[in-house]
Amino acid sequence: MTGVTLKNIKKSYGKTDVLFGIDLQIELGEFVVFVGPSGCGKSTLLRMIAGLEDITDGELYIEDVLVNDIPSAMRGIAMVFQTYALYPHMTVYDNMAFAMRIAKENKAKIDERVNAAADMLQLKPYLDRLPKALSGGQRQRVAIGRAIVRNPKVFLFDEPLSNLDAALRVQTRIEIANLKETLKDTTMIYVTHDQVEAMTLADRIVVLAAGKIEQVGTPLELYTKPANLFVAKFIGSPAMNIFKADVVKTGGNTCIKTKNGHQFDIPVKSLAGLNNQEISVGVRPEDFYLSDQESCLLSGEVAFVESLGEVTLLHLAYHEKENPVVVKIPGIVNKHKGDIVYLQAEQDKVHLFDPQGISLLYL
Amino acid sequence: MANKTAMPGKQSGKVISGLNKLRRSPLIILVHLSVLLLVILWTFPTAGLLISSFRDKEQLAISGWWTALASSEQNLITRTAPPNQQQLIDGVYLLEGTIEDIEKTDGILRFGWTSREPEAYQAGTTAEMGNDGTLMVDSSGNYQMTSVDPFTGSRGKRIFYTALTPPAFSLDNYIEVLGSEGIGQSFLNSLTVTIPATIIPILIAAYAAYALSWMKLPGRSLLIAMVVGLLVVPLQMSLIPLLQLYNVIGNFFGVSAKTYLGIWLAHTGFGLPLAIYLLRNYISGLPKEIIESARVDGATDFDIFMKIILPLSFPALASFAIFQFLWVWNDLLVATVFLGNGESELVLTGRLRELLGSRGGNWEILTASAFISIAVPLTVFFTLQRYLVRGLLTGSVK
């Protein structure tokens, strides 16, 4: 049995297509995060799973039951909204009991479940309060509690942390992580545009862009083996450096030559078709280290230094002006504006992308 | 800014910031002045009405309400003791005594003995009447009338006097209009019309507003446009066709032409466009997430309406209730057309109009009736206005 299965799910508003055939299988009890820039369709996809948006085409299964035409109340889902969406005229208790009262459950059972959820989220002292007497973090906990009480098969989070301030965000993120441990059998789908949330919470991340899935994988897979330029740039902060290089030798090892004349060998063999072509090279800021003129991948003049103590960020004026290179070096580095630095990276930390932006190394 | 400075500075800081405020916003002063003017314009006549309605009717007839607290002069007539009580003293016939009702006044100012000059003499002086007679009235009401000839006839002679009467307030006017003038019955009739004519359109409009805001149905925007369009149809134009229609349908079901049911339906019809428009604007502005969240929680549209929308729409419902209540309560036209003129049907406005015709000079009746008719709208407004609070949605989203 799978948790949620999406088969060629499409969505269009009138003639505007928003989602172009999403295929995805989410295992039972898995925590999956949809991440992507705003407007990529991730919230729409979540709302379709919730039953708040019609499915234009394709099939949606929740625990192997086709739910395309089943109203959201019957799908066995619970949703936590970005804006909490608490019922403002009801107390915390009533908010959490609402769904069960609608379902005409008996009082004792409601009481038991609400109290259990309130315990789990430390909401016990606030059960008699109205939402307006709560802080933002407490409100979001009530919203989560309201979802827990329903005992859903699938838990949906729609950017639940984006209305909270930074400190609360970290705290609530930890609570959601704990929740994931507590409710092991519940499938959870979480939408966010914040890659830190995605990386820390997810079992698997689904990166969406412009209505398509770019890559699905565990957080570390996405980080170490991005399948294309979009994922490479989207995951990681500061973003991966991308610069152009020419393939100068194929067969055996591949050799590339960067625009300022340095050559670099990579142990990949199957790039014959790309001989003498221009490709994109990606290196994460933290994968560069300082080297000397004889052995380096890139060189450039320091344009700007950010000394943060634990790390130093060097911004280099590389000859692609619109595309400066950022280097992240641990500790304090004695470099100043105007210094020339030489950068080197390990072979397995260098990513190659063909002119279409598809990774040449990981597929 | 002021908080940071020490105590002496605090005062001057406040004054300066106050002055700055004044200088910055002459418009605010203008707004405040206009509000003050409006308040005075509205409360002054109302206060006058209220004071007048409690005054004694004689005083009301001769002086304005602003003199209500001062004693007023009143021209009165009384008669002396009858001639059979006359005494012959020193060859002169004498009638003496004290003016009845003198204890109700603050004393007599002037008197006279003929209707042509009722105030000719100051109290305490002696007036020469014709035929060698005299009349003396002092300020405490004692009089002496003398004559050389004996007084004849069975009744006493007339004395005209001007007395100072103290202010008098009572509920007499109210008792009179509520009972004998029929205002009481009309008051009940008006309530019978108004309460259902307020509740029925609210109920219908709230359902309609929910459906027009949150339920997907084909032609929804067209329906809304039609409702808004209906706002411009003048009531006067549709009144007679509507009555005819009602009569035809009423005939079919055997309902007579002028009944309470008819006027309820008429007011409902006339009130609905505005009600739907107002409520829809409010309800469609409620946060979408709350409704979606309720839907995910398993609530049907009816559940959502009853448990979420209605409680949250209280401000809108209250403001429309005030509107509709005032409009129906003050209505004369629709009531004249759709309701009869009988004792058990005549509404307050109709009764006031009748009183204005038949008792137009009796200010005590008109003021008391008028005040009874505005008392109810005032009560309604003050009870419902506390629901017109903002911030009902606080804590729900964000």
Token reading at B249: 């349908």
Token reading at A296: 């380096």
Residues in A closer than 8 angstroms to B216, CB to CB, are none
Comparing CB atoms, the residue among B287, B307, B311 nearest residue A85 is B287
For residue B207, the model assigns a pLDDT of 92
- pLDDT tier at B167 (50, 70, 90 boundaries)? confident
- pLDDT tier at B119 (50, 70, 90 boundaries)? confident
Q: A84 vs B396: CB contact, 8 Å cut-off?
A: yes
Residues in B closer than 8 angstroms to A132, CB to CB, are 391, 394-395
Higher pLDDT among residues A262 and A127, named by residue = A127
Walk me through the domains of chain A, giving residue ranges and CATH numbers. Answer: 2-234 (3.40.50.300), 241-353 (2.40.50.140)
Asked if the model's pLDDT at residue B197 lies above 60, the reply is yes
For residue B1, the model assigns a pLDDT of 36
Residues in B closer than 8 angstroms to A133, CB to CB, are 395
* CB < 8 Å & 24+ apart, contacts of A105-111: none
For residue A167, the tally of other CB atoms under 10 A from its CB is: 9
For residue B268, the model assigns a pLDDT of 92
The 10s digit of each residue's pLDDT in B7-22 is 444 455 555 555 565 5
For residue B247, the model assigns a pLDDT of 87
Token reading at B198: 């307020």
Residues in A closer than 8 angstroms to B286, CB to CB, are none
Say if CB B106 and CB B163 are below 8 A apart. Answer: yes
Asked if the model's pLDDT at residue B394 lies above 70, the reply is no
For residue B12, the model assigns a pLDDT of 53
Higher pLDDT among residues A287 and B100, named by residue = A287
**CA A64 remoteness from chain centre:** 26
Secondary structure element (H or E) that encloses residue A199, with its range: helix A195-201
Instruction: Using the Cα atoms of residue B54, residue B60, residue B63 and residue B64 in order, give the sign of their dihedral.
Output: positive
Mean residue pLDDT across chain B: 82
The 10s digit of each residue's pLDDT in A204-253 is 999 988 888 888 889 888 888 888 888 888 888 788 888 877 777 766 67
Residues in B closer than 8 angstroms to A102, CB to CB, are 297-299, 303
A193: phi then psi, degrees, rounded to nearest 5: -105, 0
Q: Spell out which chain B residues touch chain A, with contact meaning CB-CB distance below 8 angstroms.
A: 287, 289-290, 292-299, 303, 307-308, 311-312, 391-398
* Helix extents (H) in B254-362: 260-283, 288-296, 301-303, 310-312, 314-329, 333-338, 348-358
For residue A57, the model assigns a pLDDT of 87
Asked if the model's pLDDT at residue B200 lies above 90, the reply is yes
For residue B33, the model assigns a pLDDT of 92
- What is the arithmetic mean of pLDDT over B125-146? 82
Residues in A closer than 8 angstroms to B317, CB to CB, are none
For residue A52, the tally of other CB atoms under 10 A from its CB is: 20
Q: B396 vs A86: CB contact, 8 Å cut-off?
A: yes
For residue A353, the model assigns a pLDDT of 83
Mean residue pLDDT across chain A: 84
Say if CB B157 and CB B95 are below 8 A apart. Answer: yes
Q: B296 vs A133: CB contact, 8 Å cut-off?
A: no
Q: B311 vs A89: CB contact, 8 Å cut-off?
A: yes
Say if CB B263 and CB B346 are below 8 A apart. Answer: no
Query: Across chain B, how many H-helices and E-strands are there?
Result: 15, 9
Instruction: Work out how many CB contacts closer than 8 A connect A with B.
Output: 86
For residue A39, the model assigns a pLDDT of 82
Interface test with A, best of B215, B297, B300, B389 (most A CBs within 10 A): B297
The 10s digit of each residue's pLDDT in B324-375 is 988 899 888 888 888 878 778 888 888 888 888 887 777 888 888 888 888 8
* Cα(A149)–Cα(A225) distance, integer angstroms: 39
- pLDDT tier at A272 (50, 70, 90 boundaries)? low
Q: B395 vs A146: CB contact, 8 Å cut-off?
A: no
Asked if the model's pLDDT at residue A192 lies above 50, the reply is yes
- Please list, in sequence order, all residues whose beta carbon lies within 8 angstroms of the beta carbon of residue A45, skipping any fewer than 6 positions away: A6, A9, A11, A19, A22, A34, A191, A208
Q: Is the pTM value of this prediction over 0.80?
A: no
Asked if the model's pLDDT at residue A74 lies above 90, the reply is no
| Cα distances (angstroms) measured from residue B206 to each of A223, B189, B289 | 54, 27, 20
Length of chain B (residues):
398
Residue with tokens 């509920």: B171
Chain A residue nearest residue B304, CA to CA: A102
For residue B7, the model assigns a pLDDT of 44
* Cα(B347)–Cα(B337) distance, integer angstroms: 12
State the burial class of residue A159 (Cβ atoms within 10 Å of its Cβ: 0-12, 13-18, 19+): buried
Asked if the model's pLDDT at residue B3 lies above 50, the reply is no
Say if CB A105 and CB A114 are below 8 A apart. Answer: no
Asked if the model's pLDDT at residue A38 lies above 70, the reply is yes
Comparing CB atoms, the residue among A72, A83, A89 nearest residue B398 is A83
* Predicted ipTM beyond 0.85: no
Asked if the model's pLDDT at residue B37 lies above 90, the reply is yes
Residues in A closer than 8 angstroms to B305, CB to CB, are none
The 10s digit of each residue's pLDDT in A112-163 is 888 888 888 888 888 888 888 888 888 888 888 888 888 888 889 888 888 7
For residue B146, the model assigns a pLDDT of 84
* Cα(A217)–Cα(A225) distance, integer angstroms: 9
Say if CB B162 and CB B76 are below 8 A apart. Answer: yes
